[in-house]
Amino acid sequence: MPIPDDGDSGFVGPGMPGPDMGGAGDAFSAFFGLAVVLVIAGAVFSVVVAARKRRILRDAGIDPFTVDAAIAAKVLRSDLLAPSTPAAQVAPSIEKRLAELDDLRARGVISEDEHREARAAVLKG
């Protein structure tokens, strides 16, 4: 037995909006339209922000396509990232070394001649 053709050749499956869903189809269309508008608005906003950033960087004399590499290079060259020497390995200042020599001489640990020679060596470097 042939199926009567009422002129609608499209297929509408269960759960899909169609002519038999009434208000649900209208709600889906409204939601879909809102989603499309939001996506387009987001794309336009992104393009405007990117154009403004590019102009600001160009006015400052910075290449906007390599700004991230320039910042990374500057950070890596900074003194804040330089490896520090542990406190135990830092050489004491000349003043501290001379004060230690004076203390050793005062306590009688080294003689006057040893003090003079050590002092000369510290001052020499």
Two tokens, residue 68: 């991230």
CA distance 10 to 24: 19
Say how many C-beta atoms besides its own lie within 10 A of residue 43's C-beta: 10
Give the dihedral sign, CA 8/14/16/20.
positive
Q: Which pLDDT belongs to residue 36?
A: 96
Taking the whole predicted model, whether its pTM rises above 0.85 is answered as no
Instruction: Summarize pLDDT for 10-22 with one digit per residue, the tens.
Output: 555 555 555 555 5
Do 119 and 101 form a contact (C-beta atoms < 8 A)?
A: yes
